[in-house]
Amino acid sequence: MSQLLRPVYKTAFRFLFPLLLAMSMATDPVYAASRIKDIVSIEGVRNNMLVGYGLVVGLNGTGDSLRNSPFTKQSLEAMLERLGVNTRNSSMNTDNVAAVMVTADLAAYARKGNRIDVSISSLGDAEDLRGGTLLVTPLMAADGEVYAIAQGSLQIAGFSAGGDGASITQGVPTAGRIPNGAIVEKEIKYNLTKMPSLHLSLQNPDFTTARRIATAINNKMGSSTATPLDPGTVLFVPPQNSPKNMVQLVTEIEQLYVEPDQKARVVIDERSGIIVIGQDVRVSEVAIAQGNLTIRVTETPQVSQPSPFAEQGETVVVPRTELEVDDGSAEKLAVLKPGISLQELVDGLNALGIGPRDMIAILQALKLSGALQAEIEVM
């Protein structure tokens, strides 16, 4: 090989090798699967919802009107009394305060002193929460215990502006967030390392997927440590005399790849016209015809006037009506072959020139006729 051709071959190999590597990765079944970490939830590793009631102050005249929001007035009086200010039996007319609901998610195994994000939503008739500051607000869980304390300046994405003739509102100015706005004060006790067994909950329950997860875990551990209990649960019992604790074993398990299975399903949202068809949907041989009766009425009235210098006559409006009728006679039958794939089904329905609304009716008719081998779920 000549010295001039060697750089050309080297350059071609440099571009060809990544392409071949990408093609081999695309055909490898491992890359078509999902990690167990992404399709199951581990027992005990979960978030907990917190809620609280608080006051936002510092608003520029866009807060609650105390006359229409008695709970805001009562909360303001109670807060001032705790601070040594007596406002009972006095008329307050401030509109710089708003009552809000504060919500947050307490992350799994959050420790004392950790910070979490909180969401703020107006409870009264406040117009805008921009520039406001949330005062100290306890956040409680379902058991009534306080697990975090929230306070801080609000971040509002929306805004509202206007005048006497027009107004504009973008987003929701009565709701916002406080990043890292709450401090965890109480931990949820759960010792994962001392658990004798764990339940792995599938996010999409399926018998085949549960069995594949158990098989992958048993192949990794070298023993029968995982057992599918039902379509949504896999029981994991650590091997006896294992030098690794439960946290280390879970770390190894959640990195295993499993190809999840699912039912053939068609999801329909009739309100928005959205249709989602699963890849395993099959259709038996069937003929489909679609046509709608469309009647269009167009009114073009004309003005009739008498001739110039006529002794009698008057100007009148003469109606002119034009009718157009489309009975869908141009539409033809389309034959869908048995066992067609998802792509062929979509192409066949698109060939009829129909919209999402008519496609929903066709899919429901296919299911009723027994030709659609899938489950239809209407949202």
Do the beta carbons of residue 106 and residue 187 sit within 8 Å?
no
The reported pLDDT for the residue numbered 38 is 92
Q: What DSSP line would sit under 79-144, residue for residue?
A: HHHHTT---TT------S-EEEEEEEEE-TTPPTT-EEEEEEEE-SS-S--TT-EEEEEEEE-TTS
Of 332 and 100, the structure prediction assigns the larger pLDDT to: 100
Check whether 41 has a pLDDT greater than 80.
yes
Instruction: Give me the percent of the chain exceeding a pLDDT of 90.
Output: 31
Return the closest-CA partner of residue 256 out of 230, 285, 217, 294.
217
Judged by phi (left if over 0) then psi (alpha if -120 to 50, else beta), residue 84 lies in left
Rounded to 5°, angle at Cα 173 from 175 and 69 = 70
Check whether 323 has a pLDDT greater than 70.
no
In total, the chain counts a number of residues equal to: 379
Check whether 164 has a pLDDT greater than 90.
no
Give the pLDDT band (50/70/90) at residue 185. very high
Q: What is the pLDDT of residues 243-275, one digit of tens each?
A: 888 888 999 999 999 999 888 888 888 777 788
Check whether 2 has a pLDDT greater than 50.
no
Element holding 330 (H helix, E strand): none
Check whether 14 has a pLDDT greater than 60.
no
Check whether 12 has a pLDDT greater than 70.
no
Q: What is the pLDDT of residues 270-297, one digit of tens each?
A: 777 788 887 778 777 777 666 654 556 6
Task: Fill in the DSSP letter of residue 307.
Answer: P
| Helices and strands in the chain: count of H runs, count of E runs | 7, 25
Q: Which of 60-64, 109-113, 115-119, 364-368 has the lowest mean pLDDT?
A: 364-368
Of 22 and 109, the structure prediction assigns the larger pLDDT to: 109
Task: Fill in the DSSP letter of residue 377.
Answer: E
* Stretch 181-196: mean pLDDT: 88
Q: What is the pLDDT of residues 224-247, one digit of tens each?
A: 899 999 999 999 998 888 888 888
The pTM (predicted TM-score) of the whole model is: 0.66
CA distances from 349 to 98, 270, 331, 352 (A): 54, 17, 13, 5
Give the pLDDT band (50/70/90) at residue 314. confident
Rank 82-86, 197-201, 366-370, 374-378 by mean pLDDT and report only the highest: 197-201
> Which residue's structure tokens are 């306080």?
146
Give the pLDDT band (50/70/90) at residue 108. confident
Which alpha helices (DSSP H) does 134-203 contain, by range? none
d(CA 26, CA 312): 88
Give the chain's mean pLDDT: 80
Of 317 and 331, the structure prediction assigns the larger pLDDT to: 317
* Stretch 72-91: mean pLDDT: 85
The reported pLDDT for the residue numbered 99 is 95
The helix/strand/coil state of 331 is: coil
Instruction: Give me the percent of the chain exceeding a pLDDT of 70.
Output: 77
* Stretch 331-354: mean pLDDT: 64
Q: What is the pLDDT of residues 118-163, one digit of tens each?
A: 999 999 899 889 999 999 999 999 999 999 999 999 998 866 666 6
The reported pLDDT for the residue numbered 36 is 92
Of 346 and 130, the structure prediction assigns the larger pLDDT to: 130
| Other C-beta atoms lying within 10 Å of the C-beta of residue 126 | 24
